[in-house]
Structure 1
Amino acid sequence: MVDALETAPRLAHQDLGAQVLQAWLDNAARVFYLSPLSVSVPRPGSAAAPARGGVPVLFPQFADQGVLPKHGLVRTAHWRLLQDTAAQGARQLRYELDMKPQDDANWPHAARLSLQVKSKLDELVFVLRVSNTGDQSFNWTGGLHPYFAVRDVLTSSATGLAGLGVQDRYDTDLRSQPPGDLCWTTQPFERLYEACPPVTLDAGGYSLRLSASGFDQWMVWNPGEAGARALADLPAGDWRRFVCVEPVCVTRPVLLAPGETFEGRLWIQVCRH
């Protein structure tokens, strides 16, 4: 008898950060970029670091917008793997993490995070749940940070964002996304969109249809040629091999009262040209 795991879509993942590192869908298409220089096992005297690529989870702080480490506390935490199963050509993962008030003095709250990942032939679904398990309300920013693999970012494009309000790190005068397709150059790109409509990413040879719920903004990022030089875990030239289209909550932090749960979803569908 053939093992169900052998016939289901493949997923590579690690308990550090509950990070999905790679997914192979639709005739072995690799959905995510993963740097060969990533170091997931800490060197002596250093802390564990998330891999450069795949899908990091960002919580309870997006980027450096606060007093916590960049992108929060959970990327370097070891989550519990509760499920890794396959049936009828589908694969499911589920990780869980409990955060306690004493874990970090700068974020003294109790929360339970759950990340569920479902994959089948041409589709991948991420479900992030955040529950307030304490007796005080808290707010948070963050989301998912997928590194989507592309043949060459300089020939890739995205549709579905035209006309949206934006905050651009490198062009503070820009207020909305210009008409037409979004394209990239050799320059660093970091743009936060004011909404989260469906987006189609032309990855070269196939497209990825991206949609989200719960999350209310897209962040689109690529370090560009100059920015990549500052990333020690990124090989020279590899900045051209990915673009991050991230479903997040940033401008409007999520407020959770005791007992409340947030649920954010990301759907990824592979479409052949």
Structure 2
Amino acid sequence: MATTSTPPTPKSPRQQASSVERTKGPSGLEKVVLREARGFSAEVHLYGGQVTSWKNDRGDELLFVSNKATFKPPKAIRGGIPICFPQFGTHGNLEKHGFARNRFWAIDDNPPPFPESTAVKTFVDLILKPSEEDLKIWPHSFEFRLRVALGPGGDLVLISRIRNTNTDGRPFSFTFAYHTYFSVSDISEVRIEGLETLDYIDYLRGKERFTEQGDAIVFESEVDKIYLDAPAKIAIIDHEKKRTFVLRKDGLPDAVLWNPWDKKTKNMQDFGDEEYKHMLCVEPAAVEMPITLKPGEEWKGKMELSAVPSSYCSGQLDPDKEHLMALILSGALAGADAAS
């Protein structure tokens, strides 16, 4: 009598074990792939110490990376989360946004203890130290440690620790940003909550200082602003996708908003002409007041991202900032905090 066997049922993404895998991308650049048990994932390239993918448990990509991005040194990768250090913007002899985003980082095999939740077990630790060439253009010794982690609820967490290791007694100062590119349905469908009434520096108007007048921020043209003394929580609401990104930050007082719009993208070789419609940069940063470290001192800056369903309708929220944020974020943050 013939017998038949039933093949084992493959595990769903929610049943897979968490993993951290070191591999290479199509361009040959090394990367680390983080996979959380319920199906969330992230990819971190050692080139730039740069997160280039963050997907939810349905496999939806939450970060924007240009189809024309160059995964080849010395060009920085267009999209994901480039790290701007030791400067944001363009100043002096340093290249724009510093050099951390186009250097090769190493796996940090012996990181100092991170005082983070023991529930977070899916992470990678990277380290960057200056090369001899770096010291010629920025003559300071440092250790930059970066942890990229996936929380049990799919939150993406980046923690930067920068230490002054100068042996000559000199302090150094730097500015910094997590240059985060969010993937959105259409820029015209996006609304930012949490930055209303704040002062900002407008880079499109001669770096003049203004005060935000709108109840919330929407986008109809190019934007390049630094909001000062921004709150610890910011919401990026995508009406069409009914998704809210919750950005939480610590140690980073400012928040940068950037979208190049149509005219500028036509002059950017690594950016598609129409791609501006599907991205928005919201960047926790320390720009207005540089951070100064004496030898032996360390600075820490943290960003935590969540993506949650939202059914936000304009006009239903109290314009008071704290109450507004509580209404938007209470459910999302409660769940994220319980998982972290």
TM-score, with normalisation over the residues of structure 2? 0.73
Q: For residue 192 of structure 2, give the secondary structure of its aligned residue in structure 1.
A: strand
Structure 1 residue aligned with 2:18: 4
The answer as to 2:63 corresponding to 1:32 is yes
Q: Which amino acid in the other structure matches residue 133 of structure 1?
A: T
Deviation at 1:230, TM superposition (A): 1.4
Structure 1 residue 154: deviation in Å?
1.2
Q: Say whether the 8 Å CA contact 1:9–1:90 is kept in structure 2.
A: no
Give the drift of 1:9: 2.4
* Gap regions ≥5 residues in structure 2: 1-10, 20-34, 110-117, 311-340
Letter of the 1:164 partner, please give it: L
Contact 1:219 1:244 in 2 (8 A): yes
User: What is the CA–CA distance in structure 1 between the aligned matches of 2:197 and 2:57, rounded to whole Å?
Assistant: 32
2:94 maps to what in 1? 68
- SS of the counterpart of 1:122? coil
Task: State how far apart, in whole Å, the 1-side matches of 2:195 and 2:124 are.
Answer: 31
Query: Which stretch of the first structure deviates more once superposed, 28-37 or 170-179?
Result: 170-179
Question: Aligned letter for 1:128?
Answer: S
Q: Tell me, yes or no, if structure 1 residue 125 matches structure 2 residue 157.
A: yes
Alpha-carbon distance in structure 2 between the residues aligned to 1:163 and 1:25: 32
In 2, Cα distance between the equivalents of 1:13 and 1:184? 29
The answer to whether residue 190 in structure 2 is matched with residue 156 in structure 1 is: yes
Map 1:124-143 → 2, pairs under 5 A? 124-135=156-167, 136-143=170-177
Which amino acid in structure 1 is aligned with residue 282 of structure 2?
Answer: V
Match of 1:116 in 2: 147
- Which structure dedicates a bigger proportion of its chain to strand? 1
Report how far residue 218 of structure 1 moved.
0.4
What's 2:333 paired with?
none
Structure showing greater radius of gyration is 2
For normalisation by structure 1, the TM-score amounts to 0.90
Select the structure with the greater relative contact order (CA < 8 A; seq sep ≥ 6): 1
> Which amino acid letter does the alignment assign opposite residue 192 of structure 1?
I
Q: Which residue of 2 aligns with 1:53?
A: 79
CA-to-partner distance for each residue in 1:86-136, whole Å, 9 max, x for gaps? x97852121101125663323100000011111133311110111101132
Matched, 1:269 2:306: yes
Aligned with 1:194 (options 228, 240, 263) = 228
Runs of 4+ in structure 1 off by over 4 angstroms are 87-90
What RMSD in Å do the two structures reach over aligned CA positions?
2.1
- Which residue of the partner structure matches residue 45 of structure 1? none
Gaps of 5+ in 1: 43-47
Distance in 1 of aligned mates of 2:285 and 2:18: 33
Q: Does 1:181 align with 2:216?
A: yes
Q: Confirm or deny: 8 A CA contact 2:120 2:149 kept in the other structure.
A: no
Q: Which residue of 1 aligns with 2:25?
A: none
Distance 1:90 1:182 in 2: 36
Distance apart, 1:26 and its partner CA: 4.1
What SS does the corresponding residue of 1:50 show, helix, strand or coil? coil
Q: What does residue range 13-24 of structure 1 map to in structure 2 within 5 Å? A: 13-24=44-55
Alpha-carbon contact 2:88-2:96 (below 8 Å) kept: yes
Shift of 1:180: 1.0
Cα 1:214–1:101 change in 2 (3 A) is farther
